[in-house]
Amino acid sequence: MTRTGRLAVRLSALLGCTLLAACGHSTAPDGDAQTRLPPAAQCVLKSPALAVGSTNALVVDGVTYTNSHQPDAPSPLETPIANPGPQPAGACHGSAGYRFGSGLYDVTGPIGGDAAGHADLAGMVLPPQAQNGIHTRLYARAFAIESPCNGKRVMFVSDDHAFTTALERQEVLKAIAADPLLSPYYGPDNVMISAIHTHSAPGGFGDETVLPNLPAGTPQAIVDTYNYAQSLVLSTSPFDADNFKVMVDGIVQAIRRAHANLEAHADSAPIRLSVGELLNANRSRDPPAYAQNSPAERAQYLDDNGYEVDVDKRFLQLSLIRANGSAAGVINWFGVHPTAMGNHDLLISSDTKGWAGLGFERMMGTRYVPDDGTTADGADNFVAAFAQTDEGNTIPDLFVFDKDLDGNDGPGQGVPYRFRHGTDDPYDFDQPGYALGMPKATALNGTKQLAQALRQFGAGSKLSGPVDYRFFYVDMTAETIDDPVIADQLAYADLPTALYADDPKTTCAGAVGLSKLAGGANAPDLGAAGYVCRNDAPVPYQDALRHHYNGIYNGTQSVVADLDAAPPLKVPFPGVLAFDVISPLLCTTEAQLPDNSCQDEKPPLAPATVTPAPFQIFRIGNLAILGVPWEVTTMAARRLRKTVLDALSPVGVDTVVIAGLANAYLDYMATREEYSAQLYEGASTYFGPWQLAAAQQESRKLALSMAQGEPAPQGVTPDTLALGDPSPITIDGNAAFGSVVSDAQASYTQGDTVDVSFVAGYPGNDLKTMSSYLYVERQNARGGWDVVATDKDPELLFVWHGKPNLVSTLLHVSSSSTAEAIWKIPANTPSGSYRIRHDGVSRSSANAAPTPYEGISRPFTIDGVPAPCP
């Protein structure tokens, strides 16, 4: 029996929905499908977190903040179609056996951000987020799947970062091509890299920056000053060679492990596809944009209470379990922005999706060990990928727009920000612990996704049919919609014809719209939303933006500058007034520029630097995975999936899922109608109002080539991209590294918090890949110490206090820094003697090798009786 089997007990693959207040539909297990889950699964399935958002009231710490919340109800679910066409004749017809393998590897980047010569956290932009620690480590999770009937295989990678970039994919493929074990099997066509889109991962890996990078070769002092000045008000992402390397190396190592795991298992086994419905775990952040879509189209998506379903509730999961019961892992897709840690978080975190993946892996006994320099042994090691799909307009902040107890939802009213997730996490700068983000909110939403994954683990029907793949690049800046099948679907009879008057319908040179500066409604920025060059949106929305939705679309009315040791400074900025002035100027400019004239309603703020768009389709039996480089909104995804399904269903495909942020990053994909309102998603749709139509056209072209057994279309040649400059080396001043600054108390009880700090070297000089800066250890009966938690675990926070300033940035010196360990003792922790250990390195000069050091707290006891659950 495998290690996973020894840990597990028998549990029905489909648990009763009575265990979960947020339960919806799920496909039933096929035959006697059973799976093995450890007892800890029951703690998740019975968690009080699952009920949050399931009633009209929000009560936090005994205080009621709203009684007008609208909980989700079951709704029509996009399940496999009943009667697809026949699968192609041949050896793969009806074949339900696959070979598969999984692997994971650490991709956690450096701490310190711009002030330490590295990129800040990517995704939020405002306010500045120079990371100073770790909430959870980041991992690449890879899955190799082969159909023995035709010998074809695919490699799917889910990466714990904000985006996938063209440069990242280029370098991963170079490494694969140079590897004699991988290159015979994997290449550009059958490797898909999809990011989960956490906004708490370091950037600087070829992604777009807010302000342009300085040219390569610029003197380092000038680069440092430029980046440091930006970092006071922006979260910036100049190229970070150290972060880029750990990302690329980690993805390749995960692929190697997945390949070795597949190769070590000659026998085939079924892969089960389960489709469920996860309620009260996501909501729309831009309801006024969704309302622009066709009323007849929207009427197809109503829940059992008659309310519109404006975000996708589908939870699709693949269970990879061998015939002997050994589980290689799961891949699931659910659309929600992993932004629960907040735009004030300063800790590296994989957010809700990574939290759920780590939780599943912990209960299944996953091993996180570095390579020993030899080929991976291929043994099963459970990997749980909570991958990203159509999350463009979806957020985990369930109460973001709810009215307050007086029924008000104007500016400054409604549910306060710190309670919008249903938790009491700190949010404002003057609240203790605000820099640690919102870990309770992250755990709450992560618990909901994990519970759904547990319910569906081992459930569903067996995939059948061949593995296949297609890939090509498209220049999205000059596409004409000339496919008659797509062209006939673009206009809706119940909407104004003026929306569809463009003739011909073409895409545009990439441009970012003014409302991009307004940010998503769940993360207030300085700008205001909804500015257009012509007001032709089908449903009026401007009054609602300014006077309802709790004023969120009006921006913060201030800019925050983070002045290092001083409290953050708020500088007034009248966002609405400023945008009232800027918008007509931008629209006038648009009319004069041929490249922007087809942007229609969008006031172009700046050109978007773009690469060719990668389109990719994986077929695994009756499932098709469409990889696209966008954040796709809910309605856009519905149309895009239907386009691909219509092309592939004649050859036996009955289900399509979108893998978002795949192989490159080109921002958002809104519908034509949503684009007309120019909220955040529309302003971030680079290529104009017909971008979705062009994506449908090219996806259909690719899908038809697969259906007809033809090669992929020719496409365009991708750009060859260059790496940036090396990251600077930070050195440490003389100190007693590892010395305890603040020690543990003598004893604690479950639920208490242990807070210990040590004299530290700069952690960015050793990323501790597949290792840890911190260890919680319990003394065993032999007097030794067993590790019970590391800095990958969300209950143990690593916080580096480096006190960077402009002088230390220019000199690349870290002095007087400390490493803080904050351990929230889980309620189910056994009593005993514990300690906290810090592993670090110091570096005396740029030419000196890092010197390891160790710090150990005093032993402390945990008394009290452990609870059944954490």
d(Cα 110, Cα 107) in Å, to the nearest integer?
10
**Three-state SS string across 163-191, please?**
CCCHHHHHHHHHHHHCCCCCCCCCCCCCE
The predicted-structure confidence for 185-239, as pLDDT tens digits, reads as follows 999 999 999 999 999 999 999 865 666 677 778 888 888 888 777 777 777 788 9
Query: Average pLDDT, stretch 753-764?
Result: 97
Q: HSE, CB side, 13 Å, CA atoms: give it for residue 78.
A: 23
Give the count of beta carbons closer than 10 Å to the beta carbon of residue 469.
Answer: 21
d(Cα 766, Cα 216) in Å, to the nearest integer?
25
Q: Is the pLDDT of residue 646 over 70?
A: yes
The gap between the terminal CA atoms of the chain, to the nearest Å, is 27
Average pLDDT over the chain, rounded to an integer? 92
Q: pLDDT band for 3, please (50, 70, 90 cuts).
A: very low
Sign of CA dihedral 799, 805, 811, 817: negative
Q: State residue 288's pLDDT score.
A: 97
Query: Average pLDDT, stretch 734-752?
Result: 97
Please spell the DSSP secondary structure of 323-388, one letter per residue. TTS-EEEEEEE------TT-TT--EE--HHHHHHHHHHHHHTT-------SS--------EEEEE-
Comparing 331 with 594, the larger pLDDT belongs to 331
E strands in 641-781: 655-659, 668-669, 731-732, 740-742, 747-749, 753-759, 774-779
d(Cα 631, Cα 695) in Å, to the nearest integer?
13
Q: Is the pLDDT of residue 276 over 70?
A: yes
Q: pLDDT band for 609, please (50, 70, 90 cuts).
A: confident
Q: Is the pLDDT of residue 855 over 60?
A: yes
668 is in an annotated binding site: yes
Q: State residue 225's pLDDT score.
A: 83
Lowest mean pLDDT among 240-244, 339-343, 521-525, 553-557: 521-525
Pairing outcome for strands 851-856 and 63-66: unpaired
Q: pLDDT band for 13, please (50, 70, 90 cuts).
A: very low
Q: pLDDT band for 563, please (50, 70, 90 cuts).
A: low
Question: CA–CA distance from 520 to each of 157, 342, 690, 758, 773 (Å)?
Answer: 27, 12, 22, 38, 34
Q: pLDDT band for 706, please (50, 70, 90 cuts).
A: very high
Q: State residue 565's pLDDT score.
A: 57
Q: Give 677: exposed, middle or buried? Use CB within 10 Å, 0-12, 13-18, 19+.
A: buried
Q: Give 476: exposed, middle or buried? Use CB within 10 Å, 0-12, 13-18, 19+.
A: buried
The predicted-structure confidence for 493-512, as pLDDT tens digits, reads as follows 999 999 999 999 999 999 99
Q: 3-state DSSP call for residue 209?
A: coil
Token code pair at residue 441: 């909110």
Token code pair at residue 590: 């648009």
CA-based angle 590:595:598, to the nearest 5?
Answer: 70
Q: HSE, CB side, 13 Å, CA atoms: give it for residue 352.
A: 30
Token code pair at residue 593: 């520029």
The predicted-structure confidence for 250-271, as pLDDT tens digits, reads as follows 999 999 999 999 999 999 999 9
d(Cα 682, Cα 530) in Å, to the nearest integer?
9
Query: Average pLDDT, stretch 285-312?
Result: 98
Residues of the chain with pLDDT > 70, as a percent, come to 94
**pTM of the full predicted structure?**
0.95
168 is in an annotated binding site: no
Comparing 372 with 153, the larger pLDDT belongs to 153
Instruction: Name the maximum alpha-carbon separation found in the chain.
Output: 80
Alpha helices in 390-477 (DSSP H): 439-456
Q: Is the pLDDT of residue 430 over 80?
A: yes
Q: pLDDT band for 644, please (50, 70, 90 cuts).
A: very high
Query: Average pLDDT, stretch 823-841?
Result: 98
Comparing 225 with 770, the larger pLDDT belongs to 770
Q: State residue 9's pLDDT score.
A: 25
Please spell the DSSP secondary structure of 71-88, one letter per residue. --------PPPS---PPP
Q: State residue 376's pLDDT score.
A: 83
Q: State residue 564's pLDDT score.
A: 59
Nearest Cα neighbor of 726 from 250, 242, 222, 248 is 242
Query: Residues 129, 121: contact at Cβ < 8 Å?
Result: yes
Q: What are the helix and strand counts (H, E) for the chain? A: 17, 42
Query: Average pLDDT, stretch 717-739?
Result: 93
Lowest mean pLDDT among 413-417, 568-572, 612-616, 838-842: 568-572
Q: Is the pLDDT of residue 406 over 80?
A: yes
Q: Is the pLDDT of residue 67 over 60?
A: yes
| Residues pairing with 480 in the sheet | 506
547 is in an annotated binding site: no
Q: pLDDT band for 39, please (50, 70, 90 cuts).
A: confident
Q: Is the pLDDT of residue 541 over 70?
A: yes
Token code pair at residue 830: 């056994």
631 is in an annotated binding site: yes
Main-chain dihedrals φ then ψ at residue 361, nearest 5 degrees? -65, -35
Sorted by where each starts, the structural domains of the chain and their CATH numbers stand as 3-470+613-707 (no CATH), 731-863 (2.60.40.2300)
Cis before 504 (ω within 30)? yes
